[in-house]
Structure 1
Amino acid sequence: MSGIIVVFDFDKTIVDCDSDNWVIDGLGFTDLFNQLLPTMPWNTLMDKLMLEMHAQGKTIGEIKEVLHRIPIHPRVIPAIKAAHALGCDLRIVSDANLFFIETILEHLGIKEYFSEINTNPGYVSEEGRLRILPYHDFNKAPHGCALCPPNMCKGLIIERIQDSLSNNGDENKRIIYLGDGSGDYCPSLRLRERDFMMPRKNFPVWDLICRDPLLLKAEIHPWSDGQELEQVLLQLINKITSLDDESSQQFISSDCKMQTLSVTAHEALPKVLPVRS
């Protein structure tokens, strides 16, 4: 193994859209979604929509067919395969759901490249309908993070990964984290000096980081599309493999520095971020 853990978000990072919205739009439930959206949490809403789809005769096979058509940049799969071939431990931390993610990864032929998928539970019930539940049961045990939506704190997941590395004597391993949404900001703050954050440029996590890049200990390496994702990721992997662990220094992209200059000194980060990542 290379001593590198690559953590991917899923929606708008591996695939090029939001998988929940892709299924809702693809099966004709956009109007109902928009009607119910203001009334309940996202995961509760998705579970409700799956119930309604089932009641109207939509099958699991039809849901899979829609997921098989989800857009993905042609360089993302080669990037994943190359990182795996170089010995990286690939994982997913996503606010989508397990059924959608596994269905897409299996269709693309890349599920086997990931050692771990951290996401909201999604499974087919005995009645034959899809159930979607929150990762954290916020009704019983709130995670307590003001930066994250109630159903998932990705920062806690990153901390668990870091703790497991320490417990296994692998604390020298480095993490590369790729994400796009506001939910990816909290885990970016939990990364260490030896780690690397790859925010998708001009997406919510990029905007939040650029308010004050110095809040991050990890190096910041932005990307804009699948081609740049591949280039930056493989360059980082090659860089890490040749780095002396003691000589790692923080890097902040010049683009991010320029954007930071436009933010006034008194502007503070929001205490509560949008629900979806």
Structure 2
Amino acid sequence: MPFSCFPSNLSFVLTEHEAYVFHWTTDNVPSFRSPDGSREQNSHAAKQTTLLTAQFPKSNPQVPNCRPYFSLLVITRRLVRTNIEPRVTMSQIANEGKHEKILLAFDFDHTIINDNSDTYVTKLAPNGKIPPEIKALYSDQGWTLFMSEIFRYLHSNKTTPKQILECMTEISFSPGMVDLLTTLDQTKAEAIVISDANYIFIDHILTFHGLKDRINKIFTNPAKFNNEGRLELEMYHVQDSCSLSTVNLCKGQILESYIEERAKENVIFTHIAFVGDGENDFCPSLRLSPKDFVFPREGYSLVKHIEKMKAEQGLHIKANIHTWKSGLDILKILSDKVPLLVQPSL
């Protein structure tokens, strides 16, 4: 449409939120008029574009000084002042420099591996049995103390660090879990472990099977072999603020702290998935939002515990709940719900 079609001195707003007003001059040379009234002439025009179709009502409070009742189609190949930058929204400013990812948080025993590493090691005891006096130390609030005494007992019966580590390598992974960990695109997802086992066991199993680099961080009870070769444990922390968790490990606190820590490093998790099997996985699951995911293992205690806590205490998980038998079940659901989560096929 030729410029001569338009009446002289016709002005209209490009959008309701732009700072500049497109102005039609008497010589049909387009220009931008800034809010202070100064005119920027078309001496810098160079960009090909289609401007807009603008239709304004008689009265529009969001478009000041709008002329009544006109509609206008403007198609031109020259946009004035190509050095004028588009407006940056507050959300864009807030997210500038941020890296968005998905977070997968895993329990370890009966989740990544298909057994309980702490109880599996008891096969090294004489006749594979633990004395009753040590068994009596077990309680939901005293797992670390209980396991410390088991390791003391194993050491007193000449069990070596090598034997313990070799025992750990015998444990198989849960079905499909290796596929899940190795398929995740690490540029778009992070995987962490939060477990009430111990660091020696988890680190050795993952390293032995070449999976350590697939885990961004491990949160568990510290452990080390002392100079005598006995495995010593410490509590991850001592807490009394969460009644849903053991005194030595609140998985919910750990999960929230990690999310906050990564946010300070400009990593924002758009979705969070927690994968577990036991009752101590309820606390972190409860802290997730409707856009997140909880994956309780089918046939294990977390499934029933979720229903029990909802019925008896009114504690309702807001996240999407999907049971799993295989890591491939988790992979499929996340791939369907979260695009580009997995590495592209070669």
TM over 0.5: yes
Counterpart CA distance in 1 for 2:189 and 2:269 is 14
Partner of 1:157: 254
Structure 1 position 187 matched with structure 2 position 280: no
Partner of 2:107: 9
Give CA-to-partner distance per residue, 1:202-258, whole Å, 9 cap, x none: 31111121233971121111112x2xx223234314422279xxxxxxxxxxxxxxx
Q: Tell me how far 1:102 sits from its aligned partner.
A: 0.7
Is contact 2:296-2:322 (8 Å) kept? yes
Is contact 2:105-2:193 (8 Å) kept? yes
TM-score (norm 2): 0.63
Is contact 1:33-1:49 (8 Å) kept? no
Select 1:204's aligned residue among 295, 301, 304.
301
Q: Tell me how far 1:170 sits from its aligned partner.
A: 3.8
Is contact 1:191-1:218 (8 Å) kept? yes
TM-score (norm 1): 0.77
Could you say if the C-alpha distance between residues 56 and 159 of structure 1 is closer, same or farther in structure 2, counting changes exceeding 3 Å? Answer: same
Q: Tell me how far 1:25 sits from its aligned partner.
A: 2.2
Could you say if the C-alpha distance between residues 172 and 113 of structure 1 is closer, same or farther in structure 2, counting changes exceeding 3 Å? Answer: closer
SS at match of 2:130: helix
Partner of 1:269: none
Partner of 1:31: 129
Q: What amino acid is the match of 1:105?
A: L
Give CA-to-partner distance per residue, 1:169-203, whole Å, 9 cap, x none: 44452111100000000110111222111111231
Structure number with the bigger relative contact order (C-alpha 8 A, sep ≥ 6) is: 1
Partner of 1:249: none
Could you say if the C-alpha distance between residues 42 and 172 of structure 1 is closer, same or farther in structure 2, counting changes exceeding 3 Å? Answer: closer
Is contact 1:2-1:87 (8 Å) kept? yes
SS at match of 2:191: strand
In the TM superposition, 1:77-88 aligns within 5 A as 77-84=178-185, 87-88=188-189
Q: What amino acid is the match of 1:22?
A: Y
Structure with the larger helix share: 1
State the number of aligned residues.
Answer: 236
Select 1:108's aligned residue among 189, 209, 224.
209
Aligned sequence identity (%): 31
Is contact 1:83-1:234 (8 Å) kept? no
Counterpart CA distance in 2 for 1:162 and 1:219 is 19
Q: Tell me how far 1:119 sits from its aligned partner.
A: 0.5
Task: Tell which deviates more after alignment, 36-45 or 186-195.
Answer: 36-45
Counterpart CA distance in 2 for 1:73 and 1:172 is 26
Give CA-to-partner distance per residue, 1:32-68, whole Å, 9 cap, x none: 2553222352211211221222222111000011111
Could you say if the C-alpha distance between residues 55 and 26 of structure 1 is closer, same or farther in structure 2, counting changes exceeding 3 Å? Answer: closer
Could you say if the C-alpha distance between residues 72 and 28 of structure 1 is closer, same or farther in structure 2, counting changes exceeding 3 Å? Answer: farther
Could you say if the C-alpha distance between residues 208 and 53 of structure 1 is closer, same or farther in structure 2, counting changes exceeding 3 Å? Answer: same
Partner of 1:215: 316
Partner of 2:243: 146
SS at match of 2:105: strand
Q: What amino acid is the match of 1:208?
A: H
Partner of 1:233: 331
Is contact 2:221-2:235 (8 Å) kept? yes
Select 2:221's aligned residue among 98, 115, 120.
120
Task: For structure 1, list consecutive stretches of 5 or more residues without a partner in the other structure.
Answer: 244-277
SS at match of 2:275: strand
Partner of 1:246: none
Task: Tell which deviates more after alignment, 1-10 or 62-71.
Answer: 1-10
Counterpart CA distance in 1 for 2:192 and 2:230 is 27
Aligned CA-pair RMSD: 2.3
Counterpart CA distance in 1 for 2:127 and 2:268 is 46
Counterpart CA distance in 1 for 2:230 and 2:167 is 16
Is contact 1:84-1:90 (8 Å) kept? no
In the TM superposition, 1:26-105 aligns within 5 A as 26-28=124-126, 30-32=128-130, 34-39=132-137, 41-84=142-185, 87-105=188-206
Q: Tell me how far 1:16 sits from its aligned partner.
A: 0.8
Is contact 2:134-2:150 (8 Å) kept? no
Structure with the larger strand share: 2
Counterpart CA distance in 2 for 1:73 and 1:86 is 25
Q: Which has the larger radius of gyration?
A: 2
